[in-house]
């Protein structure tokens, strides 16, 4: 042994860890059995939030570099996958919590005022560092979300708000996507041409379809033209930026191009990790949305229409936050602008060779 021996119990500081599940109901002389479960689950949440922030901070550091080295892409992808695994585990804790009935909860609920999960600074930091902006948040009791935290925790959140989030760093990284335009290949003009050909082909198919009457043809053509209009903003930067200001897009114009290139040519080796990372960011958003929704359902199950201990509208607030507090919706919306694989513009052989890491 190169170092002094350590005991399992001491290494994990189990005396401290296992000594902090103190029921307030017991302290106040009205011990409630299920308060122990309530405390244990929420402390476990906070431990996992700490681990998620540890992983997320390392990913932010990697993406904060002017260029992200190829070897770092594998590290970032692995750590994001770890965050996803933790979120899945966290979701399962709701099943354990729901073994407690509403009557069990009411035995100690009055002892919790005005404490609320909304006061979890780690979860607020997690949302902020991922990219949830203050302007996009649902107002909680008509005040900024960080105002419900102690002053020293407010400073932590404000510091996080002042720095680039993962969404912003990924946006900058996507805007630097290589192969968007060079002497061999102009992705955007090739994609635009393919889109026009696709819609022209769809219209021609409808017009030549002998099984459709005039009314059905008109309806189908109208639907195709409506779909075609959704692509117009992509080919007009000023129109795109206008929609961006209105909140329809969040990615910068060039970053959107980069993301679309990665999605359409994801089979190219150089885009394997980028595609995996963008896909994983959607997994995080999806899991957080599911977690919020499960939390809202559990609050409804436990409280009915009662207000939350922190003064919110209870399950109503939680349900509204589920719909509003999404971060990576642009990557979900990319599917709107994908075209069939058979219509994706072919890459020049020399460019494809570069993407294959051929030397």
pTM: 0.91
* Other CB atoms within 10 A of residue 4 CB: 5
With respect to residue 196, please indicate whether it lies within any of the assigned structural domains.
Answer: yes
Summarize pLDDT for 12-34 with one digit per residue, the tens: 999 999 999 999 999 999 999 99
pLDDT score, position 8: 96
Relative orientation angle of helices 253-264 and 166-175, to the nearest 10 degrees: 80
The two tokens of residue 204 are: 């021609």
With respect to residue 294, please indicate whether it lies within any of the assigned structural domains.
Answer: yes
CA separation for the pair 54, 63 (Å, rounded): 15
What's the helix, strand, coil split of the chain in %, to 5? Answer: 70, 0, 30
Residue environment code for 266-301, b if the CB has 16+ CB neighbours within 10 A, otherwise e? eebebbebbbbbbebbbbbbebbbebbebbbbbbbe
With respect to residue 31, please indicate whether it lies within any of the assigned structural domains.
Answer: yes
With respect to residue 1, please indicate whether it lies within any of the assigned structural domains.
Answer: no
Mean pLDDT of the chain: 91
Tally of domains in the chain: 1
The residue assigned the tokens 């639907």 is 223
Q: Write the CATH number for 240.
A: 1.20.58.480
With respect to residue 66, please indicate whether it lies within any of the assigned structural domains.
Answer: yes
Place 355 in a pLDDT band, splitting at 50, 70 and 90. Answer: confident
Summarize pLDDT for 163-212 with one digit per residue, the tens: 999 999 999 999 999 888 877 889 999 999 999 999 999 999 999 999 99
Residue environment code for 253-263, b if the CB has 16+ CB neighbours within 10 A, otherwise e? bbbbbbbbbbb
User: Can you give the residue range of the structural domain that contains 129?
Assistant: 8-355
């Amino acid at each position: 042994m190169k170092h002094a021996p350590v005991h399992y119990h001491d290494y994990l500081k189990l005396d401290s860890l296992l000594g902090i599940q103190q029921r307030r109901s017991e302290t106040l002389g009205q011990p409630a059995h299920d308060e122990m479960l309530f405390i244990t689950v929420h402390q476990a949440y906070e431990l996992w939030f700490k681990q998620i922030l540890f992983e997320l901070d390392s990913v932010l550091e990697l993406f904060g570099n002017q260029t992200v080295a190829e070897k770092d892409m594998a590290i970032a992808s692995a750590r994001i996958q770890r965050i996803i695994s933790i979120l899945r585990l966290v979701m399962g804790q709701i099943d354990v919590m729901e073994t407690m009935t509403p009557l069990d909860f009411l035995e100690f609920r009055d002892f919790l005022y005005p404490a609320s999960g909304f006061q979890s600074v780690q979860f607020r930091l997690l949302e902020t560092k991922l990219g949830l902006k203050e302007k996009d948040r649902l107002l909680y009791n008509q005040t900024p979300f960080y105002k419900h935290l102690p002053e020293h925790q407010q400073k932590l959140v404000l510091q996080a708000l002042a720095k680039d989030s993962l969404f912003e760093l990924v946006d900058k990284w996507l805007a630097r996507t290589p192969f968007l335009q060079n002497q061999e290949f102009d992705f955007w003009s090739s994609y635009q041409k393919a889109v026009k050909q696709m819609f022209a082909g769809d219209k021609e198919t409808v017009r030549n379809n002998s099984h459709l009457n005039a009314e059905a043809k008109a309806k189908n053509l109208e639907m195709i033209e409506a779909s075609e209009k959704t692509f117009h903003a992509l080919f007009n930067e000023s129109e795109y930026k206008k929609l961006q200001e209105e909140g329809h897009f969040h990615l910068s114009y060039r970053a959107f191009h980069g993301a679309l290139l990665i999605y359409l040519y994801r089979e190219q080796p150089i885009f394997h990790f980028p595609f995996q990372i963008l896909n994983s960011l959607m997994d995080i958003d999806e899991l957080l949305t599911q977690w919020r929704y499960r939390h809202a359902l559990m609050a409804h199950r436990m409280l009915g229409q009662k207000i939350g201990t922190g003064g919110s509208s209870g399950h109503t607030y939680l349900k509204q936050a589920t719909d509003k507090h999404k971060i990576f919706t642009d990557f979900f919306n990319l599917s709107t602008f994908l075209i069939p694989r058979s219509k994706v513009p072919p890459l020049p052989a020399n460019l494809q060779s570069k993407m294959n890491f051929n030397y």
